[in-house]
Amino acid sequence: MPRDAEKPKAGPAFLTPTTPPADAVLPERAPGAPAPGALLGSHYDHCFGCGPQHPAGLRLVPVAGEGLDVTAEFTVGAGHQGGPGLAHGGLLMTALDETVGTLNWLLNAPAVTGRLETDFVRPVPVDSVLHIHAWVTGVHGRKVYSAAEGRIGGPDGPVAVRAQALFIQVKLEHFTTHGRPEDIKKALDDPDLFKRARAFEVNP
């Protein structure tokens, strides 16, 4: 490394925290949020995490919980391998990230991942089902803090992977400004998707 290259700062101070500050609040479910037990569906048909039309995607279908929480299941297939017969860690992170991201339906505000911390506790074999539970831990301005865990062998089985996340609430323009134009046009031509997106307008 060149001598004048910037070195990482000591300790975690240069990383954005994924735990809520002391003055964060735990809000109520937003008016009009999906009812407990409702299937949340996909936010975009071609999303790798939840889109039903993505040929190699995870196709998660999160379910709204009783509070500010959701559950989802991810079945590990042969195409999800990292080590022989085991799920790839990056795909497990994606499954947690996707599930945590759907919490924003309960807050009625779109948000994007700012940071995701993940602990891999035990291997997840191919053909197993990862039972994911995600919940909001606090909101501070536009920052939404959340956590998730994935269990194998059933919803009450041993924890295989857990995460803490920070999401940042954004407006629809975040996607229309930064996304690939042809994909944005396809999404906005979907009246249901456009209606859902417009219902999510957020104050800066």
128-139 pLDDT, tens digit per residue, is 999 999 999 999
Residue length of the chain: 204
Classify domain 33-198 at the CATH class level.
alpha beta
Q: Which of 29-43, 53-67, 99-113 has the highest mean pLDDT?
A: 99-113
Residue 151's pLDDT band (boundaries 50, 70, 90)?
A: very high
State the Cα–Cα distance between residues 45 and 100, nearest whole angstrom.
Answer: 18
CB atoms within 10 A of CB 39: 9
81 pLDDT higher than 80:
yes
Residue appearing with tokens 């910037």 = 6
pLDDT confidence tier of residue 55, bands split at 50, 70 and 90: low
Q: Greater confidence, 168 or 52?
A: 168
Residue ranges per domain, the chain?
Answer: 33-198
Pairing of strands 129-140, 143-152: antiparallel
pLDDT confidence of residue 176: 55
pLDDT of residue 146: 97
0.75 surpassed by pTM? yes
Average pLDDT estimate for 7-17:
61
pLDDT of residue 85: 93
pLDDT in the model for residue 60: 79
| pLDDT value at 194 more than 50 | no
Q: What is the pLDDT of residue 66?
A: 93
Going from the C-alpha of 20 to that of each of 16, 75, 101, 126, the distances in angstroms are 11, 31, 16, 34
